[in-house]
Amino acid sequence: MQSWSARPVPELPGQAAPPAVFDSRTRQVEQLPQQERASLYVCGITPYDATHLGHASTYVAFDLLHRAWLDAGMPVDYVQNVTDVDDPLLERADRDGVDWRDLAREQTDLFREDMTALNVIPPQHYLGATETLEWIVPAVEGLLAQGLAYRVQGEDGEPDGDVYFDVRAVAEAGDSIIPVLQPKVQGDEDGAPGPWSLGQISGLTRDEMLEVFGERGGDPERPGKRDIFDPLLWRVHREGEPFWEGGELGEGRPGWHIECSLISLKLLPAPFTVQGGGSDLVFPHHEMGAGHSWALSGRPMARNFVHTGMVGLDGHKMSKSLGNLELVSRLRERGVEPAAVRLAILSQHYREDWSWSQDVLTRAEARLTRWRMAADVAVEGSFADALDSVRDALADDLDSPRAIEAIDVWAEGVLVGGQRGSGDDLARQAIEARLGVVL
């Protein structure tokens, strides 16, 4: 699957410090290491209702991290998936009377257009779940062979053979895990978690997990599971559902979490630097993905787990089920400049919950106008002190509101009594390189 196009990131004088970010696993701000290459996996969309502002906020946030690494002199190996077959996609296609493949293609294309418009640096590897079956099938077969997964007998008309991950077996195996993937994947384990156990990533109790497991893709009421939280690895074929040849697994399709584990293990070191996504992915998706990765490789999935806050609309929860989504494509159709949408997102701290509104957008549009006016009349090089402040802010848990405030102070100084010149290219380059906002 192809990624999207991107503007080149301007090179800046000097070099920033590597950023620190809030790790959901340790629940504190962690300094990311200086590495020869950073590695980033951000979970992609299930392609329907793309691209809502919750999506946009997440991908802009990790683009901010990507740019922080680049300014610290570290190239980034960036991978993202597309869950191009899953129950929610099939349900939406059935509701709308369209072929699920057409819906997935249409929405993925729209997502790519929105990411290009928002100036998000694309991943080097952009893969759909349906493109990774040659990796998933033998991996699940290996988990079955080692007793780390099991088949469930069907009831109430359901077929036999669905394969589930055994969370207790993997936790009990601990360091004695024999990697399913050979040879053993190599990586840098400094600061990474050790042997996986349920709750290691999320820090939730079993009661807290149960509150959200069903609404976030789990099936707690499925009969025959050894543990209520065991996640699905392979769903055997049902009439009317898409399916693929699964070798010893039989015809069927993969569960949700296993795709990200296999894609990251195949394309990134283990552990890779940062696993990213929205806060609703901490459990079960990233929790189970970390378990799958440990069972498959005997190594932690990621060194750090970083998550973005949820985005509401006009003070209310924004969700697909409520039907109150604001889409980037609709904003663009109404003539809203994508740079203003991006700046509105960056005016909020990435890990705080917040609400989109017309007021948030209006303030961003006015700010964008002021910055452009200042950049056009400033003395060349006047932005140097502001650049230091921007770098300091973004090194401190990607504090984009503080970085924006530093630029506001510079712009105000230029526009109100400051020395005038023929324009400051450093300002334009720095604001694009660090915030991704094109002046």
- Does residue 81 have a known ligand-binding role? yes
- Does residue 336 have a known ligand-binding role? no
- Does residue 82 have a known ligand-binding role? yes
Of 116, 120, 42, give the one whose Cα is nearest residue 77. Answer: 42
Structure tokens at 278: 């929205």
Please say whether the beta carbons of 123 and 1 come within 8 A: no
- Does residue 285 have a known ligand-binding role? yes
- Is residue 32 classed as helix, strand or coil in its secondary structure? coil
Q: How far apart are CA 292 and CA 312, in angstroms?
A: 32
Structure tokens at 94: 């059935």
The C-alpha angle with vertex 308 and arms to 303 and 312, in degrees rounded to 5, equals: 165
- Does residue 45 have a known ligand-binding role? yes
- Does residue 414 have a known ligand-binding role? no
Of 50, 52, 48, give the one whose Cα is nearest residue 91. Answer: 48
Task: Print the SS3 string covering 387-413.
Answer: HHHHHHHHHECCCHHHHHHHHHHHHHH
Alpha-carbon separation of residue 419 from 168, 180, 370, 409, 410 (angstroms): 67, 65, 16, 14, 12
Alpha-carbon separation of residue 240 from 94, 158, 273 (angstroms): 11, 13, 40
- Does residue 407 have a known ligand-binding role? no
Alpha-carbon separation of residue 385 from 100, 355, 378 (angstroms): 52, 32, 13
Q: How far apart are CA 298 and CA 291, in angstroms?
A: 10
- Does residue 280 have a known ligand-binding role? yes
- Does residue 58 have a known ligand-binding role? yes
- Does residue 79 have a known ligand-binding role? no
- Does residue 46 have a known ligand-binding role? yes
- Does residue 52 have a known ligand-binding role? no
Please say whether the beta carbons of 229 and 167 come within 8 A: yes
- Does residue 279 have a known ligand-binding role? yes
Of 400, 390, 414, 389, give the one whose Cα is nearest residue 364. Answer: 400
Q: Binding site residues, as ranges?
A: 43-46, 58, 81-83, 256, 260, 278-280, 285, 311
Q: Binding site residues for L-cysteinyl-5'-AMP, as ranges?
A: 43-46, 58, 81-83, 256, 278-280, 311
Q: Binding site residues for Zn(2+), as ranges?
A: 43, 260, 285
